Amino acid sequence: MQKQKLLYISFGIISLALALFLLFYFTDTVGFNTKTHAEWEENGVTFSYRGSNDEVRKLYIEKNGKKIGKFDISANASLFSSEESKKAIFLIDTEEKALALVPFSSDADGDRHYRALYIKPDGSSELDLDNDVSNPNVDSENGSVISECAGTEVLVDAPESPYTKYATHTGYSIFNDRLTPIYEISITYHSETNTYCLSERTYDQDLGTLGASNDDWLSPDKYASQREKIDELFTVEIP
């Protein structure tokens, strides 16, 4: 009788555990990444974005049917709200290697952010998490990419909160098969101090990336006198 009772208890525990596993798996409560948000094949490379119902968490890369990369990302499911967003931008594409810009995230200001994906001759892949390429404008002939974004950041979620408005323009070139930032210009308005900051950064050969920022703080009057000239540098709306 005691053995039968233990058998019933064991069966009940196993059944409960199985039910909880199936619940968590199909609702993705604990991050099984069962939801495929986007998947497509391009130039022999398959891109698969998976996650929970509301969030994109993983990017899987395959080439010629072989898995060559898995990367952590964190993006809202709206990243792939349209079919047009389900594509990579190839900058280099040969039998041995490739360089492509792949969707990485989107923001409330409507900007789409990409990262550079490198497929190497040894069959491995690498995702560059250091350089954000926003709304890329590609010049294939010259091997260059322009990245631009603009938006507003609120410091505190309150009606009278201080805020900053910004616009950033970054130029990239391909050096040694790597997408490298060579200059960056940004303009930022700080409501708390009612001042503007024009910042410029250029490529630092020793660092292998952009160097320190040169900042020019402008009063509203001084900014107004220079705004037209600054505006010529951007295609997005500046503060």
Whole-angstrom distance, CA of residue 83 vs CA of residue 60: 19
Kindly report the pTM of this predicted structure.
Answer: 0.82
Chain segment 161-197, per-residue pLDDT in tens: 789 999 999 999 999 999 999 999 999 999 999 999 9
**How many residues are present in the chain?**
239
Burial group, residue 115, by CB count within 10 angstroms (0-12, 13-18, 19+): buried
Residue 8 burial (C-beta neighbours within 10 Å; 0-12, 13-18, 19+): exposed
115-143 pLDDT tens trace: 999 999 999 999 999 999 999 999 988 99
CA atoms within 13 A on the CB side of 132: 15
Going by C-alpha positions, the residue among 71, 97, 70 that lies closest to residue 176 is 97
Q: How far is CA 6 from CA 2, 9, 11, 30, 44, in A?
A: 6, 5, 8, 30, 56
One-character DSSP codes across 159-211: TT--EEEEEEEEEEEEETTEEEEEEEEEEEEETTTTEEEEEEEEEETTTTEE-
- Domain residue extents for the chain: 1-31, 33-129, 137-239
Q: Give the pLDDT of the chain (239 residues) as one tens digit per residue.
A: 555 555 555 555 665 545 444 444 444 444 566 789 999 999 999 999 999 888 999 999 999 889 999 999 989 888 998 888 899 999 999 989 999 999 999 888 889 999 999 999 999 999 999 999 999 999 988 999 999 999 998 877 767 778 999 999 999 999 999 999 999 999 999 999 999 999 999 999 999 899 999 999 999 999 999 999 999 999 999 99
